[in-house]
Amino acid sequence: MDDNERNSPIQSVQPVRKIRAQIFKRERRELMYLYERARQGQASKRKKPSIRQTELLTSDASTPAEIEQDFLDYKTDLKNRLTFDRAQLLSEDLSSD
């Protein structure tokens, strides 16, 4: 029966005492090298950079009045930019005609 188990692709389960005896024999052997050489040259796995949570834009303004003022400032700035861009586009259209 042992021959059949050895030839089978799936190894049979060994009792714990046999495994422990094999480990003990392996530890008793004389080492060829004084230090472990297997660890040399193995690079450590690099961790992926974690995603950092960004703060909300409204976190700077603490009161509703400040939030409203920031919104009004943004609105006026946007109006000024749009009128300036529109004037630029109109002047380019007139000069090309």
Residue pair 70/61 in contact by the 8 Å Cβ criterion:
yes
DSSP 57: G
Of residues 81 and 29, more confidence is placed in: 81
pTM for the full predicted model:
0.32
Q: What is the pLDDT of residue 32?
A: 60
The vertex-46 CA angle with 49 and 38, nearest 5°, equals 170
Q: Which residues contact 11 (CB under 8 A, 6 or more apart)?
A: 5
- pLDDT single digits (tens) 34-86: 566 565 566 677 777 777 766 555 455 578 888 889 999 999 999 988 888 88
